[in-house]
Amino acid sequence: MRQSSLVVVANRLPIDDSVAPDGACEWRRSPGGLVSALHPLLRHTPATWVGWAGGTGPAPDLPDIDGVRMHSVPLSGDDLRDHYEGFANATLWPIYHDAVEQPQHHRRWWDAYLRVNQRFAEATAQVAEPGAVVWVQDYHLQLVPGLLRTLRPDLRIGFFLHVPFPPPELFMQLPRRAELLRGMLGADLVGFQRAQAAHNFAQLVTKVLGLPATDRRIGIDDRVVRIGAFPVSIDTVEMAALADRPDVADRARRLRHDLGSPDQVILSVDRMDYTKGIEQRLKAYSELLAGGHVKVRDTVLVQVAVPSRERVSQYQILRDRVEREVGRINGEFGRVGEPAIHYLTQPFDRAELAALYRVADVMAVTPLRDGMNLVAKEYVAARVDDTGALLLSEFAGAAAELPQAYLVNPHDLEGLKQGLLAAVRADPADVRERMRSMRAYLHEHDIRAWARSYLSTLDQSGSMLAHLGGG
């Protein structure tokens, strides 16, 4: 077994198997924020990525991807149902996102969560060199730090949560709250997107486990666990370079033409998820059309909503509702050859996404709750000419870093309508000013800065940082 000095552990590998039109199996990059952040970061580093390849049954043998070793962990049909779709995405995901949908609780889901976390910990223990740095990611694997420390006390273990960490009154609903907290405390450093999340975590470990905690340090047994905020980011240089490519600029021009050369293109790009506020956004747009504030001929909405977690009932219900609403709005306000909403559920490659970002005069990112929202950062990075208005929810982690966006509360329908109108009608000089400062901020706070800040806190010798130079 080949071993690495840096091991990243995430439920997902940066690839997904999908069926090509001719029925063959093909691999493509999986949509989602975690993969978008880590994939460009690890490229050309001597790291191993431990994760799930997206299917059920035996783990496929995968080639290195962009110089990174892929170590796949198998999930059975039962694991998929009870760990991934069940405990991770029907219990933890809604609780961590303000319970905007009702969290479900089933005892056998916990058994699966424990079993799969144990499998990930064992796989990681095999591929980590003596004294290696292991970086465990996200809510699917909260028990891995604790389990791994028992198996391999020689490792330096980090944990990073990409999603929000909820206030105590919500987390306290979890029947297995103590085990989840103890699992995370197996790490040497527990990182969150926002300082408020670290504060919530510190409060909980004192309340549930009776441990001494500040917003920076927690004492457990004879160790100190550090905690803190490390807002994740993107490869801004890569996105800007992509958006600046002549073929991408051409593609953007063609897209605008195909959209009927409207004055304003509003774009939204989301996984089809109830946290993203898609229904609220459609309602706001439809009321603006109904009130005559915007006209389909001048202002079109492009909604990209790639299906996600498709067997989880709350996701099925959402998709049905969104599609019914898109149909209703197009039926009511569209004309032949001129739909009000251009609705796309396909996964796109990075160049096509960059072309979409280039064509969007307004980017509407209005989640009800989001750990960060990397789409917002991708849009800013892609606006190489400093134009474009970002309409951003106050409830996205990104809002704390991009206060120059047009900020809205997506729970307030009137506010959302006013925000959309303000962005559509904004003074170009104001738009440019805001975009310029957001671009300057992101240039400094890119994915490498994130990794540097996290890994230097985790591994104070700094030896791991040397490995991240190659991308």
Q: Can 370 be counted among the known catalytic residues?
A: yes
Shortest separation between residue 138's beta carbon and ligand G6P, angstroms = 4
For residue 342, the one-letter residue type is: H
Nearer to ligand G6P, 39 or 152 (CB): 39
34 belongs to the binding site for ligand G6P (CB under 6 A): yes
List, as own/partner pairs, every contact residues 241-247 make where C-beta atoms lie below 8 angstroms and the sequence separation is at least 24, other chains included: 242/350, 242/351, 242/354, 242/382, 243/354, 243/357, 243/358, 243/381, 243/382, 243/383, 243/384, 244/384, 245/351, 245/354, 247/351
Query: What CA–CA distance (Å, rounded) separates 465 from 456?
Result: 7
* Partner from ligand ADP, ligand G6P, none contacting 393, C-beta within 5 to 8 A by type: none
Report the chain's terminal Cα–Cα distance, integer Å. Answer: 25
Helix (H) or strand (E) holding 280: helix 278-290
Q: Give the one residue of 12, 119, 256, 417 binding ligand G6P; rule: CB under 6 A.
A: 12
Task: Report DSSP letters for 405-463, one per residue.
Answer: SEEE-TT-HHHHHHHHHHHHT--HHHHHHHHHHHHHHHHHSSHHHHHHHHHHHH-TT-G
CB of 130 to ligand G6P, least distance (A): 29
In this chain, which of 53, 134, 147, 163 binds ligand G6P, going by CB under 6 A? 163
- In angstroms, give the least distance from the CB of 163 to ligand G6P: 5
CB 369 within 8 A of CB 395: yes
Q: Could you say which of 162, 199, 342, 445 is catalytic?
A: 162
- Told to judge if 97 belongs to the known catalytic residues of this protein, a careful annotator would answer no
Partner touching 306 among ligand ADP, ligand G6P, none, CB below 5 to 8 Å by kind: ligand ADP
Q: Give the one entry of ligand G6P, ligand ADP, none that residue 12 binds, where binding means its C-beta sits below a cut-off of 5 to 8 angstroms depending on kind.
A: ligand G6P
Alpha-helix residue ranges (DSSP H) falling in 128-220: 144-151, 168-171, 177-184, 195-209
**Residue 304 binding: pick among ligand G6P, ligand ADP, none (C-beta 5-8 Å cut-off by kind):** ligand ADP
| Binding-site member from 69, 156, 309, 383 for ligand G6P (CB under 6 A) | 309
Between residues 372 and 435, which has the closer beta carbon with respect to ligand ADP? 372
Q: Which is nearer to ligand G6P, 36 or 286 (CB)?
A: 36
Contact 274, 314 (CB under 8 A): yes
Choose between 5 and 308: whose C-beta lies nearer to ligand G6P: 308
Which helix (H) or strand (E) is 36 found in, with range? helix 33-42
The two tokens of residue 249 are 């600029």
- The residues that touch ligand ADP, with contacts defined as CB under 6 A, are 31-33, 36, 269, 271, 304, 306, 347-348, 353, 372-375, 378
Those residues with Cβ within 8 angstroms of residue 416's Cβ, 6 or more apart along the chain or in another chain: 280, 281, 284, 366, 408, 409, 410
User: In this chain, which residue has its C-beta nearest to ligand ADP?
Assistant: 33
Binding map of ligand G6P across residues 13-32, x = CB under 6 A, - = no contact: -------------------x
Q: Specify the length of the chain in residues.
A: 471
Q: Which residues bind ligand G6P (CB under 6 A)?
A: 12, 32-34, 138, 162-163, 308-309
Point out the residues that are catalytic. Answer: 162, 370
